[in-house]
Chains A and B, each alone.
Chain A
């Protein structure tokens, strides 16, 4: 490349797409609208000011903020890092080295797609939030991202070519890029992500899409049938119903709906009331059957909702293994391309619920060091926690070996926890069972005894199963930990990923000669399953700590 071109491009900074004003305003509005409405309504109620005024006063800063953010936001590609400048009063210049980027997500919602922009999230090892969120990038800019990151090119995308051409070129560069990236450590994750995004964006043109997808092996593809099963097994419907209910309540829709159903002029309310009266009049048996039918209908409705949600959200779910990265692409309305460089994987967790086990399926999640906070709406992170949302049990081994190459087989000989553990657990569960039974004594009198006995039997049984399912193992230079009876989770951490080994003993632990062992790794979110082995015999825990600490000391940690 000519030297003068390089020199010229060093100064060139890029901006976000002007539409980012709209997107950032939209996302801020979503967060601010409820407090504003509530504040406005209460101010209106108290007769201080009119609601319109409150809304206006609340909205102006948001609009100004979004415009200022757009106007001050600049990013540029340096040789080894992405530099982002933002802020008017408090200027901030962030340097994100390409080599430190843990994850790269490209998310395209419906509006993003219609308008031809994409949201890019970069995560580095530190912190919970994405290190940099580029709210709206024009698609051509994203396409230029990967090669630039890889080769440290700093030439500007000043003259933006026609989008279709660029997209086609992106498919090419992504494919070539991966071939070229063998052994190149810096930015391979970014590049794979770029390939994913390019492949995703190129979907409309049939000749480009294969170029994007042929660059890696498909590890997992979920056809509609599997997604249907996943939706059925996973109880997403209740969550959705609860969310919808909450939203309706907050926005006042609920009141209006109840007016509509049970109001003065409504015919629905009386009709329902009449039907209910008829059923009750028909006797207790009919009432019970009708209630049961209602419950079943509700459950079916919730599961149907869950299925639809899954089909839309995870549409065409694919995990592709390219040179060093894993790439998950999915989504019908909001399309997500999430990239995980393989060496960034800290721990792997296998999830098994009772229904999943019955259907012979498991789910596999991975934890990476970047952005460990789960459950943020619109974030691709929850899907990292479920890298394989549903997987046939017999395919688990192959899948795990792709994610953790050192792993031989998911079957290990589990070591039990202390034989005294059952006594400790059963005391706790029996206490809870008794607490739950106390109100029944008041309500049911003598029948309360029967319920109490049943609860206690369940408590003992549950404690027995729970302790039996606790287990740990050392195999293939990894520490394995399993817990949970009905919802069983198995977490695997390689010795090379161990950060800190801590032995902890509570007063009861010491009294019983036990200890728990926590193997801390990077990226273990608050809700994630961690290697935290409870109820170990003290000398076992000590030996294990010594051994694991020595293994950690022996190896080097690479981000």
Chain B
């Protein structure tokens, strides 16, 4: 395996980041300079290679979705149990059994969908490098995906109604690949998603077809 001097995919090293900023195209360099010039380091270029967690607001967002899903499963079940009770009048033991099944399903699903977002948030992260993006996600099946900037076909940032309420956005990175033709990252602050999108967009006139 030949040693690569590139540090894409490894934790950031300030010297290399600076070097990468020098070699980048003028627009990006200007952006980087702008970031360096401002007082607040957080306002600098997003492409510093640091690993970032998702916006914590994604937890309440996913919990809201979880509550909706739980309600969508639980209410029809309750109605079905009620109808069965009213129509057939089964013995009380059966009714008790059905009600307890309903309670277990609702409670279990509700608890699961309440706990899950925390785990999801804990195991999801991303790092934007000068030459690409690296995404980690997955609680049970873990994934670490690298997409080079030179392979990005196009990107988009979408915002559903609930995401809009929380000020979040979903970044979609499209490549010419097959299994990973779309790499998406949800739970980003909308502003951050837009910045990553702008960074990943291929420079104009770079269409090497």
A residues within 8 Å of B by Cβ?
A: 99-100, 125, 369, 372, 474, 498-507, 510, 518, 520-525, 530, 543-559
If A499-B177, A521-B177, A553-B131 touch, whether A506 touches B148 (CB-CB below 8 Å) is no
User: Given the complex of chains A and B, what is the CA–CA distance between A125 and B142 in angstroms?
Assistant: 30
* Given A551-B4, A557-B208, 6 more pairs with CB closer than 8 A: A500-B175, A501-B146, A502-B145, A546-B9, A552-B146, A553-B150
Would you call B176 and A545 a contact (CB within 8 A)? no
Give the residue of A500, A504, A550, A557 whose beta carbon is less than 8 angstroms from that of B183.
Answer: A500
Q: Is there an interface contact between A510 and B9, defined as CB atoms closer than 8 Å? A: no
Residue B83 at the A interface, CB < 8 A?
no
A272 to B134, CA, bound (A): 69
Which of A500, A504, A543 is B146 in contact with, Cβ under 8 Å?
A500
CA distance A559 to B4 in the complex (A): 25
Question: Does the CB pair B179–A545 fall under 8 Å?
Answer: no
- When distances are taken between beta carbons in the complex, the residues of chain B under 8 Å from A503 are 143-145
Dominant SS at the A interface? mixed
- Return chain A residues, CB-CB under 8 Å to B196: none
Chain B's closest residue to A367 (CB) is B178
11 CB contacts below 8 A, A to B, read: A99-B209, A499-B180, A504-B141, A506-B141, A518-B179, A524-B179, A545-B9, A545-B144, A546-B8, A546-B10, A553-B8
Cα(A518)–Cα(B141), bound, Å: 14
Give 8 nearest A-B pairs by CB, closest first: A499-B177, A549-B146, A520-B177, A550-B6, A553-B148, A500-B180, A546-B9, A553-B131
- In the complex, the answer to whether A557 meets B150 with C-beta atoms within 8 Å is yes
B175 touches A520 (CB 8 A): yes
CB distance from A41 to the nearest CB of B (A): 39
Inter-chain contacts of B142 with A (CB < 8 A) = 504-505, 510
**Of B4, B129, B149, B209, which contacts A100 at CB under 8 A?**
B209
Residues 135 to 189 of chain B near chain A (Cβ within 8 Å)? 140-151, 175-180, 183
Asked if residues B209 and A520 are in contact (CB atoms below 8 Å), the reply is: no
Please tell me if the beta carbons of A502 and B209 are within 8 angstroms of each other in the complex.
no
Whether B1 is near chain A, meaning CB under 8 Å from some CB there, is yes
Total B residues in contact with A, Cβ cutoff 8 Å: 34
Tell which of A125, A503, A504, A520 has the most Cβ of chain B within 10 Å.
A520
A518–B175 alpha-carbon span in the complex (Å): 15
Q: How far is the CB of A156 from chain B (nearest CB, A)?
A: 28
A503 — nearest CB in chain B belongs to which residue?
B144
Q: Report A-chain residues with C-beta under 8 Å of the C-beta of B140.
A: 506-507
Contacts of A548 in B (CB 8 A): 146
Across-interface contacts of A543 in B (CB, < 8 A): 1
Contacts of B175 in A (CB 8 A): 499-500, 520
Per the bound structure, the CA–CA distance linking A555 and B8 in Å amounts to 13
**Residue on A nearest B206 in the bound complex, by CB:** A556
| Of the residues B2, B6, B129, B183, contact of A554 by C-beta under 8 Å | B6
Chain A residues with CB under 8 Å of B141's CB are 504-507
Q: Residue B132 at the A interface, CB < 8 A? A: yes
Knowing A500-B177, A520-B179 are in contact, say whether A553-B6 is a contact too (CB < 8 A): yes
Shortest beta-carbon distance from A186 to chain B in Å? 9
Give the contacting residue for B132; candidates A502, A505, A549, A558; CB below 8 A. A549
Closest B residue by C-beta to A528? B178
Option from A372, A549, A555 in Cβ contact (under 8 Å) with B9: A549
Question: Across the interface, which residues of B come within 8 angstroms of A498, CB to CB?
Answer: 148, 151
Question: Which residue of chain B has the shortest Cβ distance to A546 in the bound complex?
Answer: B9
Query: What chain A residues lie within 8 Å of B148 (beta carbons)?
Result: 498, 549, 552-553
The complex places the Cα of A16 from the Cα of B176 at a distance, in Å, of: 32
Interface centre among A506, A546, A551 (most CB of B within 10 A): A546
Cα separation A530 to B147 with both chains bound (whole Å) = 18
With most chain A CB atoms within 10 A of its CB, the pick from B10, B132, B142, B146 is: B146
For chain B, residues 1 to 41, give those with C-beta under 8 angstroms from any C-beta of chain A: 1-2, 4, 6-10
Q: Name which residue of chain A comes closest to B147, CB basis.
A: A500
Find A369's partner among B6, B7, B176 (CB 8 Å cutoff).
Answer: B176
Query: Which B residues are in CB contact (< 8 Å) with A556?
Result: 150, 206, 208
User: What are the residues of chain A within 8 A of B7 when measuring CB–CB?
Assistant: 550
Contacts of A525 in B (CB 8 A): 178
**Interchain CB contact under 8 A, B143 and A502:** yes
Point out the residues of chain A lying under 8 angstroms from B132, CB to CB: 549, 552-553
- In the bound complex, residues from chain A placing their C-beta under 8 Å from that of B4 are 546-547, 550-551
Taking a contact as CB atoms under 8 Å apart, the answer to whether B178 and A552 are in contact is no
User: A215 vs B187: C-alpha distance in the bound complex, in angstroms?
Assistant: 57
Most A-side CB within 10 Å, residue of B132, B177, B209: B177
- Bound form: Cα–Cα A173–B141 in Å: 56
Q: Which of B10, B129, B179 has the most CB of A within 10 A?
A: B179
